[in-house]
Structure 1
């Protein structure tokens, strides 16, 4: 469906451009009865048509440069705020927390395509100058045009495939599934939390304690007493102050503590878990974090440059095909109908 729409519009515009160019010659050509098929006339017509082709190539080159720049920017985007927080505590998330991560991943492929297309366009420009403005045999011209048509069609297909994937990924992006994210975090906490010491040699335990201090929160689900998310962690089941019943929640979970004084947290908080002495759950601050890693203007640049590159290539290859078969565009036939 997309291929048909793009090709029909591209073909129509290409033929319109060629016919507009031909109509300007009709008055002169009607006075040249019997010479409309001469080599000089054919060369003159081809050179004038070549100017349109060069113009299309120039616009296509600008479009591809925009495609390269926009895709390069997407490959270098920083992780979204939510991903940064989750990576800090070593959470293995089921679904990626950043909204357009799939597009970020495919941007390197778009960048590679853009660079390849730019090199191809430069070759096309040289080929156009050589074929339409140089003096070479018609047979060699035909071979060169066939190579151009095949190569450009290959780029059209590659461009179209990436465009379809891009649109599918953009439309299927969903808001973060926080229930699943909570399950992923809870699983990580149960497996990795072994100490309530923020300076612990265990990097994962230390990360969780620093996380509690940084985001002013505690556990994954709301703490409602001595029975909480930490009950099944190694800190409570195997070793640590919880297993020794000294603490029921980490001291880093207590209100008002910092990295420098959390070790002096009151026992009414970490041991008795008295209401009002500990922090809220960590899902609340996470829900307020940004999930955007690619700006909308970057997506728009990618969208339009991919789309325009397809359309311009279709117009270009159609013009080349029409010039290979001049009678098909109706310009010659219309020019020899002299009263």
Structure 2
């Protein structure tokens, strides 16, 4: 019929790029595997244990101004990465099934072709929306990874000193004062004493409530906690020699705690896990771009089978 569009089955089968549909299937399958890798690395980062330094500082209830673990910001972002991975996996699983239907669909009816075109548009819009979210998270991830700074030990030293002066009230590990008890246990477990080196009867404990308000230091029977003496344990620290806690003779007490703190690791996430996370985010974006590009091309190909009959 002259002047009308004719949708012939043979024309449409020839016009549609079947290879393009199968290429999309492959991309979607790889995207699902990438999403699984993203989910796995995100779960690992989300459930990672605190770094050694954080564990030590939390033990004495220290309120630090900057987080001691190197990649803590990425750990906090991991829930978002996990959500993105789940969305990627579910979305591409659905698209995979739909694309398989498209590949096996026998075209010829105008309604069928229109339905496929609408489906292509939905796939393009949905995939592009996820790509935008993926891109935003990748940029944030890279910024946080590059922005990691070394621990400011001078600031940390000041914070520890302030905490000691405010909270140390007893040299008893079983004290009802949790913070004092924690400090004493810290001295024993980390084999250290005070924040700075003890140089004699004048030391870091002079301005603590233990020395200024009440305690064995305030009544001058001790100058440093008994838990600071060498070779003491939780079981025998009460029998520490007076030459240590009272006279503060050189060589009888432990070195400062700041040196021990500096030895604690600040890493809570392995570099290879960060690499997997980074590659998963980047690779998924590349695949999404390819998918949208191919689907956009396929969106217009069916029209190639349409022709005017005169």
- What pairs up with 1:188-337 in 2 under 5 angstroms? 188-326=163-301
Gap runs ≥5 in structure 2: 1-6, 305-310
The partner residue of 2:80 within 109, 127, 133 is 109
Aligned counterparts of 1:212 and 1:79: Cα–Cα separation in 2:
21
In structure 1, the residue corresponding to 2:274 is in which secondary structure? helix
Q: How far did 1:190 drift?
A: 1.4
Q: How far did 1:186 drift?
A: 1.2
Q: 8 Å contact 2:173–2:181 — kept in the other structure? A: yes
Question: What residue is the counterpart of 1:10 in the other structure?
Answer: none
Question: What residue is the counterpart of 2:4 in the other structure?
Answer: none
Question: What residue is the counterpart of 1:40 in the other structure?
Answer: 10
Aligned counterparts of 2:10 and 2:286: Cα–Cα separation in 1:
32
Aligned counterparts of 1:176 and 1:269: Cα–Cα separation in 2:
33
Tell me whether 1:179 sits opposite 2:179 in the alignment.
Answer: no
Aligned residues: 294
Q: How far did 1:204 drift?
A: 1.1
- What pairs up with 1:46-57 in 2 under 5 angstroms? 46-57=17-28
Question: What residue is the counterpart of 1:124 in the other structure?
Answer: 95
Question: What residue is the counterpart of 1:18 in the other structure?
Answer: none
The partner residue of 1:147 within 117, 122, 129 is 122
In structure 2, the residue corresponding to 1:158 is in which secondary structure? helix
Aligned counterparts of 1:48 and 1:274: Cα–Cα separation in 2:
85
Question: What residue is the counterpart of 1:61 in the other structure?
Answer: 32
Aligned counterparts of 2:13 and 2:66: Cα–Cα separation in 1:
60
Question: What residue is the counterpart of 2:307 in the other structure?
Answer: none
Q: How far did 1:326 drift?
A: 3.2
Aligned counterparts of 1:294 and 1:205: Cα–Cα separation in 2:
31
Aligned counterparts of 1:259 and 1:298: Cα–Cα separation in 2:
39
Deviates more, 1:213-222 or 1:127-136: 127-136
Q: How far did 1:140 drift?
A: 1.6
Aligned counterparts of 1:43 and 1:84: Cα–Cα separation in 2:
65
Q: How far did 1:129 drift?
A: 2.3
In structure 2, the residue corresponding to 1:117 is in which secondary structure? helix
Aligned counterparts of 1:302 and 1:40: Cα–Cα separation in 2:
46
Q: How far did 1:327 drift?
A: 9.6
Aligned counterparts of 1:252 and 1:43: Cα–Cα separation in 2:
85
Q: How far did 1:134 drift?
A: 2.1
Deviates more, 1:232-241 or 1:211-220: 232-241
TM, length-normalised to structure 2: 0.90
Aligned counterparts of 1:180 and 1:130: Cα–Cα separation in 2:
62
Q: 8 Å contact 2:187–2:227 — kept in the other structure? A: yes
Deviates more, 1:267-276 or 1:95-104: 267-276
Q: 8 Å contact 1:47–1:133 — kept in the other structure? A: no
Q: 8 Å contact 1:102–1:169 — kept in the other structure? A: yes
Aligned counterparts of 1:71 and 1:250: Cα–Cα separation in 2:
44
Q: How far did 1:317 drift?
A: 0.6
Question: What residue is the counterpart of 1:93 in the other structure?
Answer: 64
In structure 1, the residue corresponding to 2:17 is in which secondary structure? helix
Q: 8 Å contact 1:90–1:204 — kept in the other structure? A: yes
Q: 8 Å contact 1:190–1:232 — kept in the other structure? A: yes
Q: How far did 1:38 drift?
A: 5.6
Question: What residue is the counterpart of 2:308 in the other structure?
Answer: none
Q: 8 Å contact 2:69–2:266 — kept in the other structure? A: yes
- Let me know the Cα RMSD of the aligned residues: 1.8
- Cα displacement string for residues 78-135 of structure 1 (whole angstroms, at most 9, x for unaligned residues): 1111111111110111111111111111011100110011111111112212334224
